[in-house]
Structure 1
Amino acid sequence: MRRILLTVIAASAIVFSANAQLNRKGFYFKVAGGYFFSVSPGQFPDVGPYPPRDEHVAVNPNNGNTTVLREKVLTGSYGEGIRGGASLGYVINQYISVELTANYYSSKKNLMTRSLTTIQNTETEVGKIESKGYVQAVDVAPSIVISPGYDKFNPYVRFGFVVPVWGRLYIETDASRTSAVAGQPSFVQAKTMISRKEEIEPSPTIGFQGALGVTYAINNRLGIFLEAEYRNVPVKSKSKVVTSYRENTKIINTNTGQQVGTDINRGLDDLSVAERNTDYVTTLDQNSNTPTGTSGTTTNYKNNNAPANDLKSYINIGGLGANLGLRIRL
């Protein structure tokens, strides 16, 4: 009986000691990774002159009239993707801690616009454009953690702010077009291929976060945690720059399939300042630097030597996800 009593006392002392060490004041470090899903999808912003539509258009080759065969509004969110981060925390007392987290986020690619043009009553393709976009961002997130301070399994709630410190919306566009050649018979056609990449810089913003999780203590210094987290981070556009542009046009004799003449190429350095750079504004008026027309694939602006103006767009890089990681007491 005495031996049993001593064993119980010793075990109780070990548990009390571990609990005291787990919940005493001090710093701790966390690393985590997770995946987030979109919970508030909305309509995607325009890609230049192209609205967020997935459409199939038929063109009458005799008069140029077009008929929409199929059209769908493209919706979604940039909140779906992978996230990884590291946190430095401080235990104020058994029940309250504070954390500062730095996260890296990369969303999945989203179809932003797609348009297919075919000749009426045929499947002959004469034009196609497809744009996909994705977000990469770095943020810092201060938060407060509240828990009951249990020993092995310790549930907690965490809430705070999200402050993006860097981020870009990347848009990749591929387009093709078949068109007539001035002064040439109808069987001589120009086939143009365009590949374009652009980056949109966001305006400063702030978001909110909340999480519900549980920590499991492996020992008095190391633990693992699993949590469900919700983030709401609305972002609006500030400016855009075209970072890559490749355009190639071949003149083809469609009867023989042979190329006529040499390739016509246009690259990034051939774009005007207005074609390469865009400043986003809340209102467009007569003083805005907007397009005045096109010449082939070249877009002309009121002032080609100044950044173009376009309306601000809004996206959300928040979502609902799960994080799994390690917690190390320092």
Structure 2
Amino acid sequence: MKSFFITLTLVCALTGTLYAQKGFYLKVDAGYSLAFGKIRATDPMYSIYSSTTLSFGKGLQGGISGGYSFNQYLCVELSVSYFLSSKTVTHQNFPIYPSDTIKIDRSQQSHMLRFLPVFVVTADKHKITPYGKFGPVFGIGNIVTDESSYNGALQTKLKMYGGFPIGIYSCVGILYILSDKLQLYAEINNLNMIYAPTKGKYTKYTINGADQLPVLSTNMKEIEYVDSSPIQSTDSNEPQKILKTYYPFSSVGLNAGVKIGF
């Protein structure tokens, strides 16, 4: 009888402990990532005096996450983060007849809102506890290109947008447990993603400081990016068609933040 009560007490205690591991939590974090997987940012057909490769994986991000712990080992989590890429600057000479060149200076930057539904697997809880995360990532974003040519006489800003990039996300991290409800964490993450915008629109087009957007036709200020060789329309009220470009957004990064349990 005594052993029965001891066993019952242990079972109740264990059940209570496991139940205490269940529940919702909130996380806030920020981080920085480095890019991998690049494409050439300048056209090799032209005379290039400063060539560079292009990737939008490098930059700053901040986010908020909500999750639910089924037990001390398994959680599901939805993260929403905002990513701002570092600027990529290129300079290029474009030859024109008979022996002159046009200097083109270009700056490109991306903004993206990311959604990450992931599984979280955690080791046995200690003061410092390792964990891993994995799942898909979905994005809504744009790429903005500022360009200056003809010694600064022509200034343009092109916003490329549309499309729905999808990638794969994984990370490993450590929790530093301050209390049952408050924890600090740091993690190294890996993101594999490419993005091909489907639309483009000039939001700035000036010549010698004078705004030309009001007089430009739709064909000159709007772009539709397509999968196969485009057949250009002769209708000036339709966007011009250009083949899609797939831009790399893959990265390796470091995040740190706070986790609050409820």
TM bin, normalised by shorter chain, reads: 0.7 to 0.9
- The answer to whether the Cα contact below 8 Å between 2:93 and 2:101 also exists between their aligned partners in 1 is no
Residue type of the alignment partner of 2:144: Y
Partner residue of 2:150 out of 157, 176, 181: 176
Q: Which residue of 2 aligns with 1:197?
A: 157
Is 1:207 the counterpart of 2:167? The answer is: yes
From the superposition, tell whether residues 42 and 22 of structure 1 become closer, same or farther in structure 2 (CA, over 3 Å): farther
Is 1:52 the counterpart of 2:43? The answer is: yes
Relative to the length of structure 1, the TM-score reads 0.69
Q: After alignment, is 140-149 or 126-135 more displaced? A: 126-135
- The answer to whether the Cα contact below 8 Å between 2:142 and 2:197 also exists between their aligned partners in 1 is no
How far the C-alpha of 1:318 sits from its partner, in A, is: 2.4
Q: Which residue of 1 aligns with 2:189?
A: 229
Correspondence list, 1:62-211, <5 A: 73-112=51-90, 114-115=92-93, 127-164=102-139, 166-176=140-150, 193-211=153-171
Is 1:306 the counterpart of 2:251? The answer is: no
How far the C-alpha of 1:21 sits from its partner, in A, is: 8.3
How far the C-alpha of 1:305 sits from its partner, in A, is: 2.0
Relative to the length of structure 2, the TM-score reads 0.85
- The answer to whether the Cα contact below 8 Å between 1:53 and 1:72 also exists between their aligned partners in 2 is no
- The answer to whether the Cα contact below 8 Å between 2:109 and 2:143 also exists between their aligned partners in 1 is yes
- The answer to whether the Cα contact below 8 Å between 1:35 and 1:82 also exists between their aligned partners in 2 is yes
Q: Which residue of 2 aligns with 1:29?
A: 26
How far the C-alpha of 1:131 sits from its partner, in A, is: 1.2
Find the structure with the greater CA-based Rg: 1
How far the C-alpha of 1:117 sits from its partner, in A, is: 6.5
Residue type of the alignment partner of 1:94: Q
From the superposition, tell whether residues 266 and 31 of structure 1 become closer, same or farther in structure 2 (CA, over 3 Å): closer
Q: Which residue of 2 aligns with 1:243?
A: 203
How far the C-alpha of 1:317 sits from its partner, in A, is: 1.8
How far the C-alpha of 1:55 sits from its partner, in A, is: 5.8
From the superposition, tell whether residues 247 and 23 of structure 1 become closer, same or farther in structure 2 (CA, over 3 Å): farther
Q: Could you say what secondary structure the match of 1:237 adopts?
A: coil
In structure 1, C-alpha distance between the alignment counterparts of 2:114 and 2:134, rounded to whole Å: 15
From the superposition, tell whether residues 88 and 54 of structure 1 become closer, same or farther in structure 2 (CA, over 3 Å): farther
Root-mean-square deviation (CA, aligned residues, Å) is 2.9
Q: Which residue of 2 aligns with 1:272?
A: 217
Correspondence list, 1:275-290, <5 A: 275-285=220-230, 287-289=231-233
In structure 1, C-alpha distance between the alignment counterparts of 2:154 and 2:125, rounded to whole Å: 60
- The answer to whether the Cα contact below 8 Å between 2:146 and 2:158 also exists between their aligned partners in 1 is yes
From the superposition, tell whether residues 43 and 146 of structure 1 become closer, same or farther in structure 2 (CA, over 3 Å): same
Residue type of the alignment partner of 2:227: T
- The answer to whether the Cα contact below 8 Å between 2:50 and 2:92 also exists between their aligned partners in 1 is no
1:269-296 Cα shifts (integer Å, max 9, x gaps): 12111111011112225x323xxxxxxx
- The answer to whether the Cα contact below 8 Å between 1:143 and 1:160 also exists between their aligned partners in 2 is yes
How far the C-alpha of 1:154 sits from its partner, in A, is: 0.7
How far the C-alpha of 1:176 sits from its partner, in A, is: 1.5
Q: Which residue of 1 aligns with 2:250?
A: 318
